[in-house]
Amino acid sequence: MNDFTRLNSEEHRGLRLRDNLSYDEMKSLKNCRIIADEIFLAGSSFPIFFIKDEAQGQFLLSAIFVLQNDGNLFVDQDGWNAPYFPLNIKRLPLVLGRELGTVASHAHDIYINLGSEQASAVSGARLFHDDGSATDFLNSKKKVLEGVVQGEEKTSSLIDSILKYDLMSPLTITLSTAEGTGLIKGLYGIDHAKMKYMDPKSTMELIEDGVLENILMMMASYSQIGRLIWMENKKMWMKNGNTLGKILNYSISSG
């Protein structure tokens, strides 16, 4: 349950945060928005794609946590089990007012979700000292949130460049099993053929703009689909005790 309120030292002097993720809060999270500066590290754990926000008509850079099962493959009863911890998860339960739309009246202030299972009056790290000053723990949370906000401009520039050179394409992931095939759609990524045959001038412009490196790292992250498939097969076996529906192979196609 969400219960957002503007963070302040008067009302929240005694509030504490458990610095661990709630399984119930995370188990259904299928993807997470990331910023461009996270592509290198996030791509070592998850495939990185774009997801289109149909309501706002914009593309969101996202780490993918599951292909076809219902639950987040990277969280279990013991907590988060991936090498990388995305900033948009790490900063929880803090958000900026502008992220809440009409729920918040102060767009640039920090809000906290008191409905989060991380929030507690008895256990966890304090947010404020007795004199009302912020603790190091709160300052570290704020720093992560600031990093997300500051990274949004670079991420937008990355997306603009990819669209400018017509490098983005809807992707279809085909999963092959002994029983047949399944298709995963709704993801967007870099069109490999367009990248391969891009003219030298455009390639140089991408290098000069500092964009090409992120594009290549994003494409490299697609190999992490194999990790998701291995994890999904393992989860399926543990749940059903058989190999029915086991994914044997996959392919990615553009367009």
Domain limits, the chain: 22-91+134-254
pLDDT given at position 245: 80
187 pLDDT more than 70: yes
- Of 114, 122, 65, 121, the C-alpha closest to 93 is 114
Q: What is the rounded CA–CA span in Å between residue 135 and residue 166?
A: 47
Q: How many Cβ atoms from other residues are within 10 Å of residue 129's Cβ?
A: 13
pLDDT digits (tens, 9 = 90+) for 18-38: 877 777 778 889 999 999 999
Helices (H), 21-96: 23-26, 39-42, 87-90
Q: What is the rounded CA–CA span in Å between residue 74 and residue 66?
A: 8
Q: What is the rounded CA–CA span in Å between residue 171 and residue 200?
A: 25
> Going edge to edge, which strands form the sheet with 168-177?
31-33, 58-64, 48-53, 180-190, 168-177, 247-254
190 pLDDT more than 90: yes
Phi/psi of residue 151, nearest 5 degrees: -80, -10
pLDDT digits (tens, 9 = 90+) for 220-234: 999 999 999 999 998
pLDDT tier at 155 (50, 70, 90 boundaries)?
very high
Please report, to the nearest 10 degrees, the dihedral formed by the alpha carbons of residues 156, 158, 160, 166 taken in order.
-150
Write the burial class of residue 254 (CB in 10 Å: 0-12 exposed, 13-18 middle, 19+ buried). Answer: middle
Mean pLDDT of 50-67: 93
Which of residues 230 and 71 earns the better pLDDT score? 230
Which of residues 26 and 73 earns the better pLDDT score? 73
Whole-model pTM?
0.89
pLDDT given at position 231: 92
- Identify whether the C-beta of residue 215 lies closer than 8 Å to the C-beta of residue 167: yes
Structure tokens at 52: 């289109």
pLDDT given at position 104: 65
